[in-house]
């Protein structure tokens, strides 16, 4: 997941683990991993921000541009939903991963970790957490629907938004039901809510805790 003004992040990711051109294609062909930057459109279609992404994409050919999304922090839950929909309809993959553009991924470690879950048809894998629900409008993490989470104001268990993975069946579920899936203030909470009523295996994988890097970790923050 990327946004306007984050070209330095994207270039760092390309250099660190994603690659460009032949290297990117080699990762797809040999490891079966497709990596793309995901971004929406400007609120002013065709402006300098849109044109800048179009120029960058012509050079790198590594974007998914979501035409139905106006890029903005408040639309991150919708962005995640549209991404899984787009990816599930375009690629028949075993797993679909959401990663922020300030996260470095160890591709081989990711492949090894996911291989252990090929036999689990409905897996939701990540650094699981709960967290406080904030009801004050002035708070940075304000949740407009705070009252839905009970008197203790605690979110249900969900994977941290820095990086998480869902299996093919769950991505297809999001794609099929995208018009009725509820979103909350945060994309990670929203994704977790989509799978609450389903027979889903929640895999709490410490190697996906990107902000607290340890030996053998799959990801780390910039």
* pTM, full prediction: 0.90
Q: Convert the pLDDT of each residue in 168-198 to its tens digit.
A: 999 999 999 999 999 988 899 999 999 988 9
Mean pLDDT of 138-161: 84
Q: What pLDDT shows up at residue 156? A: 87
- Show the DSSP H helices in the chain as ranges: 7-13, 21-26, 48-60, 76-90, 107-115, 168-176, 187-194
Q: How confident is the model at residue 131 (pLDDT cuts 50, 70, 90)?
A: confident
Task: Please give the share of the chain, as a percent, with pLDDT higher than 70.
Answer: 97
Residue 3 scores a pLDDT above 70: yes
The secondary structure of residue 155, as a DSSP letter, is: P
The secondary structure of residue 94, as a DSSP letter, is: S
- Among 31-35, 81-85, 211-215, which stretch is predicted with the lowest mean pLDDT? 211-215
Residue 201 scores a pLDDT above 70: yes
């Amino acid at each position: 997941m990327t946004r306007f003004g984050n070209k330095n992040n994207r270039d760092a990711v390309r250099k660190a683990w994603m690659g460009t051109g032949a290297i990117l294609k080699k990762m797809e062909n040999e490891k079966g991993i497709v990596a793309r930057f995901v971004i929406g459109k400007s609120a002013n279609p065709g402006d300098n921000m849109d044109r800048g992404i179009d120029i960058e994409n012509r050079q790198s050919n590594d974007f998914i541009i979501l035409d139905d999304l106006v890029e903005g922090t408040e639309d991150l839950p919708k962005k995640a939903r549209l991404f899984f929909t787009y990816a599930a309809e375009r690629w028949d993959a075993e797993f679909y991963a959401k990663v922020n553009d300030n996260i470095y991924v160890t591709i081989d470690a990711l492949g090894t970790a996911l291989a252990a879950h090929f036999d689990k048809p409905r897996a939701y894998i990540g650094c699981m957490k709960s967290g406080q629900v904030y009801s004050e409008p002035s708070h940075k993490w304000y949740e407009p629907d705070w009252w839905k989470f009970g008197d203790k104001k605690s979110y249900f268990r969900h994977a941290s938004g820095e990086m998480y993975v869902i299996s093919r069946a769950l991505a297809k579920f999001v794609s099929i039901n995208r018009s009725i899936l509820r979103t909350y203030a945060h994309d990670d909470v929203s994704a977790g809510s989509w799978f609450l009523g389903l027979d889903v295996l929640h895999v709490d994988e410490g190697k996906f805790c990107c902000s607290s890097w340890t030996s053998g970790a799959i990801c780390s923050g910039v």
